[in-house]
Amino acid sequence: MVTLSISDLRVALGKRAVLHGIDAELKGGQLIGIIGPNGAGKSTLARAILHLVEPTGGSIALDGTDVTTMSRDAIARRIAYLPQGQTLHWPLTVERLVGLGRLPHLAPFSRLTPADTQAIERAMECADVTMLAHRNALELSGGERARVLLARALAVEADVLIADEPLAALDPGHQLQVMELLAAQAHAGALVIAVLHDLTMAARYCDRLLLIDQGQLAADGDADSVLTGALLERVYGVRAWTGSVNGHRLIVPMDLTV
Ligand SMILES: Nc1ncnc2c1ncn2[C@@H]1O[C@H](COP(=O)(O)OP(=O)(O)OP(=O)(O)O)[C@@H](O)[C@H]1O
């Protein structure tokens, strides 16, 4: 199974040091939740894994190969990416848009093979967008667009899937559906990394949580060890009610500590 080794990763954006030495060894077969307050560095970590930002120190290796030495195409075949809040500019049909997920696998000027078409159909089915296949992607609602973009990432059928806030804009039913889907991808062998703000969803579905605070790894472990009252107070500045329903942990922010 795929292994992603992050070692003493440091990233600066402009003159601002954003990540200050992140260490984590992540393996396929797990859904990893990256959590932390706004501006903590979660998206920057995701983008560094994809080599979309240049580290100022440390390394990220995919199965032993430093990602900074991999070609853009090789990274795109191995790591699928659902960026945060992406806007669309071209009036493609949903089917064509999801099909863009197969581009990293195609030789220049070649057509989709039957295997590509099957991957696109599987991805649309998984993300529950098959009924939107012939719609203009520019005319979708926010939640529909979010699921279509997830389908495009799924169509890559990569070893690693990074989803940055995949629940934003989704209704409660589709939130559950997307978390089930991400967990299923992970349990089928992929390494799935999701940036999440919903701590209840993170606790329920993620096998492991990385809590980022001010560019540092404040905690790394299962939900019980990471989502403690003391850490939530320190990192988010909130007192949270935690309880359990049907064996699922609930974390409800109740009030600010200051
Ligand atoms: N191009 C840039 N130049 C300078 N600073 C930047 C740049 N892009 C982001 N930052 C800063 O880097 C820090 C981390 O940003 P990042 O987007 O990784 O946070 P995040 O944890 O994903 O936040 P959110 O939950 O709000 O999406 C923030 O303080 C942000 O203002």
Residue-wise DSSP of 116-175: HHHHHHHHHHHTT-GGGTTSBGGGS-HHHHHHHHHHHHHHT--SEEEEESTTTT--HHHH
**Domain chopping of the chain, boundaries:** 3-222
Q: What is the pLDDT of residues 149-169, one digit of tens each?
A: 999 999 999 999 999 999 998
Q: What is the pLDDT of residues 78-132, one digit of tens each?
A: 999 999 888 888 899 999 999 999 999 988 888 999 999 999 999 999 999 999 9
Burial label for 88, CB within 10 Å (0-12, 13-18, 19+), is middle
- DSSP lists the bridge partners of residue 220 as 210
ipTM for the complex?
A: 0.98
Report yes or no on whether pTM surpasses 0.90: yes
44 lines ligand 1 (CB under 6 A): yes
39 alpha carbon to ligand 1 midpoint, in Å? Answer: 5
Residue nearest to atom 9 of ligand 1 (CA): 13
15 lines ligand 1 (CB under 6 A): no
What architecture does CATH give domain 3-222?
3-Layer(aba) Sandwich (3.40)
4 alpha carbon to ligand 1 midpoint, in Å? Answer: 22
